[in-house]
């Protein structure tokens, strides 16, 4: 799996876990906040992995051209 798919999977999983934590009343109140913090960290890391592919793509680096390759006299 590439980083983009892992990022999407992390976002979906953390959203589902967050909704479950908020909706269920059977969790003790002391356990709700740490679980929401962990779910938030997973959500943010999913967003970072989702955007990592766009910034560091090998395909885009191949089309890069240097602008300063010609000499001044030509």
Residues across the chain: 74
* pLDDT score for 49: 86
Q: What is the DSSP string of 13-68?
A: HHHHHHHHHHH-S-S-HHHHHHHHHHHHHHHHHHHHHHHHHHHS-HHHHHT---S-
pLDDT computed for residue 67 by the predictor? 65
pLDDT in tens, 14-61: 999 999 988 988 888 888 899 999 999 999 999 988 887 555 555 555
- CA distance linking residue 46 with residue 40, whole number of Å: 10
Rounded CA-CA distance 50/57 in Å is 12
């Amino acid at each position: 799996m590439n980083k983009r798919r892992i990022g999407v999977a992390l976002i979906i999983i953390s959203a589902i876990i967050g909704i479950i934590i908020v909706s269920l009343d059977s969790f003790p109140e002391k356990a709700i906040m740490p679980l929401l913090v962990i779910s938030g960290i997973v959500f943010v890391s999913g967003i970072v992995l989702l955007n990592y592919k766009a910034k560091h793509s090998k395909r885009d680096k191949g089309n890069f051209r240097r602008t300063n390759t010609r000499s001044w006299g030509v």
